[in-house]
Amino acid sequence: MNHLIEKFSRYVATLGPVGFIPFAPGTMASLCAIPLYIWYRHALVKYSINETAATMLLLIITFWIISAAKNTFREQDPDPIVMDEVIGIFITLYHFPPHPVFIAIGFFYFRFFDILKPLGIESLQQLSGAWGILADDVAAALLSNLALYYTIRLLF
């Protein structure tokens, strides 16, 4: 049973083959997250689900899956684990309607902050286990959400 959980977690954490794409797997995973986010937002509205509670639950599930999947890799922060990019996009776009302009700007900000890792975000990768894999993406996403908020306030 344990092997089955690890295998399932590895598949979900890498988004199947997406995490093994040789060029920019994080960016590819972020792109894959966009239709998931659109579906997620529509489901929240359709079923009157609280976005904060749903996003926190997804964050906990993501942590659990990454924790289980990490054991199947040798590296501290394995490149194929890209589920952290998915939750990063969800947090970046948190509280924004799934409008193409908001999604495009949010995607750009998230990739920018996730790649550059400014303001101490890079040091979060030193945390052990799934925390180190997830924390830098969550921090980059929070920064991206803030940047998106002020960009939209400025433009609209």
Give domain status of residue 25, yes or no.
no
Residue 118 lies inside a defined structural domain of this protein: yes
Taking only the tens place, the pLDDT of each residue in 78-87 is 999 999 999 9
pLDDT at 1 over 80: no
pLDDT tens column, 29-49: 999 999 999 999 999 999 999
Q: Above 90 in pLDDT, residue 76?
A: no
Counting the structural domains of the chain, the total is: 1
**Model confidence at 3, in pLDDT bands (50, 70, 90)?**
confident
Range of the domain at 102: 43-155
In a domain, 27, yes or no: no
Assess if residue 134 is contained within a domain: yes
Cβ-contact 93, 106 below 8 angstroms: yes
Residue 15 in domain: no
* Residue pLDDT, tens place only, 102-136: 999 999 999 999 999 999 999 999 999 999 999 99
Cα 21 vs. chain centroid, distance in angstroms? 17
**Does residue 122 lie in a domain region?**
yes
Quick check: is 50 in a domain? yes
pTM beyond 0.85: yes
Question: What average pLDDT does the structure give for the chain?
Answer: 95
Per-residue pLDDT at 2 exceeds 90 = no
Residue 74 in domain: yes
Residue showing tokens 């193409």: 100
DSSP states of 67-113 = HHHHTT-SSSS-TT--HHHHHHHHHHTTTS---HHHHHHHHHHHHHH
Range 16-28 average pLDDT: 96
